[in-house]
Structure 1
Amino acid sequence: MDVTARRAFAPNWQGRAALAALALYCAYAVSQLDISGGRLATGLGEGARFLARMWPPNFERWDTLVEGMVESLQIAVLSSAAGILLSLPLGLMAARNLAPWWLSGPTRGFVAICRSLHYVIVAILFVKAVGFGALAGVAALTVASMGFIAKLFAEAIEEISMKQVEAVRATGAGPFAVLLYGVLPQVASRFIGFCIYQLDSNLRNSTLVGIVGAGGIGGTLFAAFKRFDYDFVAAILLTIIALIFLAEIVSARVRKALQ
């Protein structure tokens, strides 16, 4: 009887070829983008001098700082609430195990469009449409929230057990009762987690949309950069970091309480 000798760990030539191609492309991209160690060393030195100019932080204009942070918080809360409310029907219509193909397909396409553009780009579009201010920021982050929550909500619905849904339907319940008693109990905890995460994300994002004129602390930060007021920039950045840390603590406790 012939015994064919086989290696215990045969080499994966396709994987090695893919890694080699990736390495070659990275080397090509570095050469095209003019990335060099000399530029990196120069940048580190300039960065150290820039950080030195930011110290110590200047909190004398605390009223302007508080006003911008409050506006960013309002933008985050309003955009999260609007995005969550709009994502509920979108997620249900995008779920392929509940909605027919002619409804789930276009809905998924709309959700993909909401998710395809970065929220800063969407904020620029809304600034051009409705003008400078918090309204553009709320609208931009609402679109971003819809793209994120509706997609995850639809995927969560597609993973539910249809036995519970069929059991509710067998009682003669209508479509709304089926959703209320057969679908939502299976995805409620995950949906709450999605909402908490999106609120946390919008709180961070609301500090950036102001850079393009969509309200919030971002506008104050950008104005301070243009005035070379770096000590006030440091105060703004430290305040943003503190707010994000506080939001992380609160969201973690809320998640723990809901488990």
Structure 2
Amino acid sequence: MAGINTHQNPFKTNWLVRLGSVVVAAYVIYAFSIMGVSMERIAIGMEHAERLLGRMFPPNFTRWELLLNDLLESLQIAIIASAAGIVISLFVGLFAARNMMPNVISIPARVVIAICRTFHPVIIAILFVKSVGFGALAGILTLIVASIGFIAKLFAEAIEEISLKQVEAIRATGASFISVILFAVLPQVFSRFIGFSTYQLDSNLRNSTMVGLVGAGGLGGTLFSAFQRFDYDFVTAILITIIALILLGEALSNLVRRVFA
């Protein structure tokens, strides 16, 4: 039609957004300058990386028994921590749901979740290593805390999104609180909870190797020792073993999803 501009720019100019982009770009450049990041350092780093990779191959699997024992320990840490963390998260997440619990219960539960989510697993692992000593127990306790921080939060949010019609219908029959949870709440969030749990198991398999770097058991401790000895071909063997562990976790997650889908 005459008088209508059919070639208007759909992206209108927003000077505030442009100003913000310029400020962010300027800050990034400034941050690079004060942190000493330069192309010269990158080039030197690439040279060191080339020499490091040359010493890492071929991988050394002569100590395969040590690798197998550490792999089993990491797997055990992840599975035990995931199982315990999932069970605890069921109750903590339920207590944190504001549509099911009064504030006097939900607020402290949410504080617990927030505390569990505050610190990185490595920091928590250091605290547990200092508390209970080196070994798998510190790793298990660390990953239980990490599991609660993740699963309980998502579980509480899933419960808060349920339809209350089923809850009211079950309550109208005179059912107890436990019956309301079992027959009105859990059926609505069960599939999502399985998804949260399988993801956390996969995450714990990765973290079980990471917390070992500070003495919490598993492959991480062996990896740290190999780096200290400059035993880089053995480092490669450990890294390949960790990759195999993660792939195993992915296969277990897919299996659980198929079973409970």
TM-score tier (shorter): over 0.9
Say if 2:116 and 2:146, in contact at 8 Å, map to a contact too: yes
Task: Give the Å deviation of 1:78.
Answer: 0.9
What amino acid sits opposite 2:52 in the alignment? F
Task: Give the Å deviation of 1:256.
Answer: 3.2
| Matched residue, 1:45 | 47
d(CA) in 2 for partners of 1:123 and 1:31? 34
d(CA) in 1 for partners of 2:41 and 2:11? 43
TM-score between the two structures when normalised by the length of structure 2: 0.94
Which one of 152, 163, 166 corresponds to residue 161 of structure 1?
Answer: 163
Task: Give the Å deviation of 1:48.
Answer: 1.2
Which runs of structure 2 are paired with 1:142-221 in the superposition (5 Å)? 142-221=144-223
d(CA) in 1 for partners of 2:222 and 2:242? 12
1:36 aligns with 2:31: no
Task: Give the Å deviation of 1:249.
Answer: 2.5
d(CA) in 2 for partners of 1:71 and 1:8? 57
The C-alpha deviation readout for 1:98-157, integer Å capped at 9, x for no partner, is: 111121112111101100100000000001111111111111111000000000000000
Identity over aligned pairs, percent: 61
| Matched residue, 1:128 | 130
Which one of 58, 79, 82 corresponds to residue 56 of structure 1?
Answer: 58
d(CA) in 1 for partners of 2:21 and 2:111? 34
Pairs aligned (count): 255
SS of 1:254's partner is helix
| Matched residue, 2:140 | 138
Task: Give the Å deviation of 1:252.
Answer: 2.0
The C-alpha deviation readout for 1:16-54, integer Å capped at 9, x for no partner, is: 222122111111111121111111111111111101101
Distance 1:244 1:8, change over 3 A: closer
d(CA) in 1 for partners of 2:120 and 2:113? 13
Distance 1:8 1:41, change over 3 A: closer
SS of 2:74's partner is helix
| Matched residue, 1:77 | 79
d(CA) in 2 for partners of 1:108 and 1:40? 44
More divergent stretch after superposition (100-109 vs 142-151): 100-109
Which of structure 1's runs of 4+ aligned residues deviate more than 2 A? Answer: 5-10, 256-259
d(CA) in 2 for partners of 1:207 and 1:26? 33
| Matched residue, 1:227 | 229
Task: Give the Å deviation of 1:9.
Answer: 4.3
d(CA) in 2 for partners of 1:125 and 1:42? 36
What amino acid sits opposite 1:60 in the alignment? T
TM-score between the two structures when normalised by the length of structure 1: 0.95
What amino acid sits opposite 2:207 in the alignment? N
Which one of 239, 242, 252 corresponds to residue 240 of structure 1?
Answer: 242
What amino acid sits opposite 2:197 in the alignment? C
d(CA) in 2 for partners of 1:198 and 1:35? 36
More divergent stretch after superposition (153-162 vs 24-33): 24-33
Q: What RMSD over aligned residues (CA atoms) do the two structures have, in Å? A: 1.5
Task: Give the Å deviation of 1:248.
Answer: 1.2
Say if 2:125 and 2:138, in contact at 8 Å, map to a contact too: yes
d(CA) in 2 for partners of 1:258 and 1:174? 27
d(CA) in 1 for partners of 2:48 and 2:216? 30
Which one of 71, 86, 89 corresponds to residue 87 of structure 1?
Answer: 89
